[in-house]
Structure 1
Amino acid sequence: MPTPNSPSINSTNYFLLSPFKYLPKIILLLILPTSLILILLFLISFTTQLNIGEMFVSVAFSPLRMVRNIKETDKNIRGLDRPLRVMTFNIWLSGARVKDGMEKIAKHIAKVDPDIVALQEVKTLETAGKLIELLNSTTTTKWQYRHHPLALYPDTAILTKHEFIEDDQYLHLQFYKNITNYLFQDEEENNKNYTNISTTFNSITTYGMGATIWLKDEDPKKEHLINFVCLHLDYRSYGPYAANNKKVNETSQIMAGERNKEGNELKILNKYMKNAQIQPLIVAGDFNSPSHLDWIEETKSIHGGWIFEWPATKLIMDAGLNDSFRAIFPDPVKDPGITWSTVQKKSGPDWDWTIPEPQDRIDFIFYKPNENFWPINSQIYAGKEELKPLPDQYENDWPSDHFSVIMEIEEKENKNIKENDKEEIEEKEEKYWYEKSEEGENNSESSYFIKKKIKYFPNLQLYMAHQLFPKV
C-alpha cells in the first residue's frame, strides 16, 4: 500500500512540477561541460601560442609572385616511402575536344597517382580548380593547385598533393607595358577602357610557371623542398614541319623558328637554375620541339634526313639537367618515346586528313641530377583503351592529343652537410632573427617558415645562409 510520501498515480502533478525545483542544477550541468571545454581550448591556445588566423591560407600577392605560409595540415601529410612521382600532361584545351573531358582528365590523373602534375593548355581560370574538386572527391588526400592568376587563358598550371611554398608566373613583358595604360585609373575611366583591358588580357601567353613545393612526410626529418617548373613553349614554327619540307636545305632555316622558344625558356628557368645546386629542380612540360638526343645519325631516315641539335632541349641539358626518359631509355631507335600525337596521325582537314603528321617526342621531364635525387622509372602514358584519330576522337577515353610523361625519382637524405656546418648556420640564423625581432620584423611570413621549419631542411639551410649571410 502506498504511503503518503511515496510516489503514486495521484502524485502526477508533483512529478510534472518537480523539474522547476531542480532547474538551476540542470542548467549548471549543461553549462559546466561547455565552460570546461572553452577553458581547455584557451589553455591549449595560450601554451602553444596558437594563432587562430594561422588556420587560414595567408597569401601575399604581386603581379609575379604569390607566397604562402607553411601550416600544419595533417590531411596533406603523406609518406614518401614510394618514389616521388611526377606527371606532365597537355590537357588539350581543358579536355574540350572529347566527351566529358574534365572528368576524364581527373580520372587519369587519379589512376597515375602522381605527387606533382604539370598541366598545359589550361583553357580557363576555372579549369585547375575544377580538377582539384574532382580529384578531392575521389581521394582523402587534399590536392592543391597554382596557375596564372591574371590571364584569361592561364595555359600552364601545377597540381600537387603536397604544399606550395612559393610560385611565380611569367608574362610577356608587353603585357605590363599595355596593361599599365589602363589600370590604376578611376572607375569611370576603367569602364571606358574595358575593351582595351579585355583585349590585353586575352592576348597574354604564359610560357610557363614555377613553384617551390614542400614534400611533406609523416617524419619531418624526411621532408624536402623542391623547385618545379612547368613549361609550354610556343607551338608556332614547329620545327619538324620545316625539316620535312623539301625546300628546306639549311639548318639555319629550321633554327630560325626555334630561337623564340629558346629565349622564352631562358626567362623562365633563370631564377630556378640559380638555386639548382642547393634544391632539387624538375622542369616538365610541352616543349613543342623535339630532342637533340633523338635526331641523331641512327634516326635521320625518319627525320627527313636531318641530324639536328634542337636548342630547347640542348639548352636545358647544357645547363646541367638530364632528360628523365632518355636516362632510363637511352636508345631512341629502340625506345622513341613518341608523345605527339595520340590522335593527330594525319595533318589537317584542309588535306582531308591525308598528309602524314610528323610524330615526335616533344613532352619532357628534366631533372637536376645529384647522388640524392635520381630517376628510377619513366614511361609514356595515354590510358589503355584504343584511341580513334582525328576527326573521330570525341568518344575517346584519353582526353588529350599528347601522350603524358611520367617519371619516378628516388630521394635520399642529404648526407653531405657536416654537423659543424649546421651548427654554424643555426648560430648565425638565430643571431639574424634576434636582430630582426629587435626591429619588429619577427612576425613576417618568411620568418615563420624559416624559424619553424629550417631545421628540417639542410638544403634550404645552406640556401638561406647564402642569402642572409653572403660572407659565410
Structure 2
Amino acid sequence: MRNTGRALAVAVTAFALAAPATAAPAAPAADTLTVMSFNTWHGGAQVSDGINKIAQQITSAGADVVSLQEYSTDSTKKIAAKLGWYYTDTGTHVDIVSRLPFEGEDWTSTGNGVVAVKIKGIWIYSAHLSYTQYGPYNACFDNDSYETIYADEATRRKQAQEILSWAGSSPAIIAGDLNSPSHLDWTADTKSVHCNSVVAWPATKVFADAGYWDSYREVNPNEAATPGNTWSPVVKQNAGRPEPQDRIDFILYRGGSLDATSSRTWGGGSGWPSDHLAVVSRFTL
C-alpha cells in the first residue's frame, strides 16, 4: 500500500478539460479528502429535475470530489454548473467533478474508458466496467457452475487489469461502478443471501491482489452485518424473480499515506435520483 512513482506507458486519448462554471469554494482541510462514487442513471434523465437532485445530494454528502458514471449529453457540465465546481468533459460514460482544482488530468480508452485527475497530489480515477454477462444472474437465475461464472467474468477481469496497468504505482483512488460484486462479500458467512454461492469475483480480487484496499469493507469489515448493497434501491424484481441485491459500487485506494477513516453508502428513499446508491469515503492524506 506504500508505493510511490507513476508509470504511464499506455497511449492516451485526449479530452477537453473545462474550467469551473464559477469560482470553486474554499478548499477543505489539507489533510483530508472526501470522495464519492455516483452512478447518475443516465445523467439524471430517468427522474424529474435529475440534475438538481444530483447536485443537491453531492452537496449533502459533503463530497470534495465525485466519480460520475452514466453520462447523458451534457449532464456533467450541468451538474458542475449547479455546484460551481471543476469538471472533466470526456463525452463518455465517466467523468469527475471536484470542488478542488485539478493538478493534472488524463483519459484512456482502456478499462472500458477511465478518466483521471490529480488532486492534492493523489490521482483519482472514475471507472465503469462492462455490464454484460452480469455475474449474480449466472449464480442466481441460471445456476451456472463456478467455471462458467468465472469464464463470463473474463471481460471485467481484463478491464480491471488494464486500469491497474495504466494507473501505475503512484498513490491512487479508483472509484466507480464495477458491475461486479466483491470477493469480500460472497463468502461462506453470506451464502444464504447470495444464492448459496461463494464466489471470488475476479474484478475486485485483481485490485486487492495489486494492493488496493476496499474503503467500505475496510471500515465495515463484517460483510454479513453491513452488506453495503448499492444495487439497487429501485430494482427489486426481475421478470418475476427477486433481483439480486449487491455491492457493485466501490472506492478503492492504494499508496502513500492514504487511509480511509469513514465509508458509507449514500442515498435512497423518495426523490433519490439514481437506481444505484452512492458510496462516500473520507480519507486522511
TM norm structure 2: 0.88
Secondary structure, in 3 states, of the residue corresponding to 1:209? strand
- Alignment partner of 1:358 is 2:244: yes
Secondary structure, in 3 states, of the residue corresponding to 2:43? helix
Following the alignment from structure 2 to structure 1, what is the Cα–Cα distance between the partners of residues 249 and 23?
Answer: 34
Partner of 1:256: 151
Q: Deviations over 1:397-420 (max 9, x none)?
A: 110000000000112xxxxxxxxx
C-alpha deviation, 1:369, in angstroms: 4.7
Q: Quick one: which of 254, 278, 283 aligns to 1:404?
A: 278
Partner of 1:244: 140
- Alignment partner of 1:327 is 2:221: no
Q: Which of 1 and 2 has greater Rg? A: 1
- Bigger proportion of residues as strand: 2
Identify which of structures 1 and 2 has the higher relative contact order when contacts are C-alpha pairs closer than 8 Å and 6+ apart.
2
Amino acid at match of 1:266: Q
Cα pair distance change 1:299/1:330, threshold 3 Å: same
Partner of 1:115: 64
Partner of 1:144: 86
Q: Quick one: which of 21, 39, 56 aligns to 1:90?
A: 39
- Within-5 A mapping of 1:386-465: 386-387=269-270, 397-411=271-285
Secondary structure, in 3 states, of the residue corresponding to 2:53? helix
Q: Deviations over 1:171-212 (max 9, x none)?
A: 26xxxxxxxxxxxxxxxxxxxxxxxxxxxxxxxx95322222
C-alpha contact (below 8 Å) 1:168/1:211 kept by paired residues: yes
C-alpha deviation, 1:162, in angstroms: 1.3
Amino acid at match of 1:91: T
C-alpha contact (below 8 Å) 1:67/1:167 kept by paired residues: no
Secondary structure, in 3 states, of the residue corresponding to 2:261? strand
Following the alignment from structure 1 to structure 2, what is the Cα–Cα distance between the partners of residues 362 and 207?
Answer: 18
Secondary structure, in 3 states, of the residue corresponding to 1:122? coil
Following the alignment from structure 1 to structure 2, what is the Cα–Cα distance between the partners of residues 113 and 135?
Answer: 12
Kindly report the root-mean-square deviation, in angstroms, between the aligned alpha carbons of the 2 structures: 2.2
Partner of 2:122: 226
- Bigger proportion of residues as helix: 1
Cα pair distance change 1:360/1:111, threshold 3 Å: same
- Alignment partner of 1:283 is 2:174: yes
Secondary structure, in 3 states, of the residue corresponding to 2:29? coil
Following the alignment from structure 2 to structure 1, what is the Cα–Cα distance between the partners of residues 174 and 12?
Answer: 22
C-alpha deviation, 1:81, in angstroms: 5.4
C-alpha contact (below 8 Å) 2:24/2:99 kept by paired residues: no
Following the alignment from structure 1 to structure 2, what is the Cα–Cα distance between the partners of residues 402 and 235?
Answer: 14
Amino acid at match of 1:131: I
Amino acid at match of 1:167: E
Partner of 2:83: 135
Amino acid at match of 1:367: Y
C-alpha contact (below 8 Å) 1:207/1:234 kept by paired residues: no
Following the alignment from structure 1 to structure 2, what is the Cα–Cα distance between the partners of residues 322 and 239?
Answer: 22
C-alpha deviation, 1:79, in angstroms: 3.7
C-alpha deviation, 1:166, in angstroms: 2.5
Following the alignment from structure 2 to structure 1, what is the Cα–Cα distance between the partners of residues 139 and 104?
Answer: 40
Secondary structure, in 3 states, of the residue corresponding to 1:293? coil
Task: Give the unaligned 5+ runs of structure 1.
Answer: 1-61, 137-142, 173-204, 216-224, 388-396, 412-472
Q: Quick one: which of 102, 116, 120 aligns to 1:210?
A: 116
Q: Quick one: which of 143, 165, 186 aligns to 1:270?
A: 165
C-alpha contact (below 8 Å) 2:176/2:250 kept by paired residues: yes
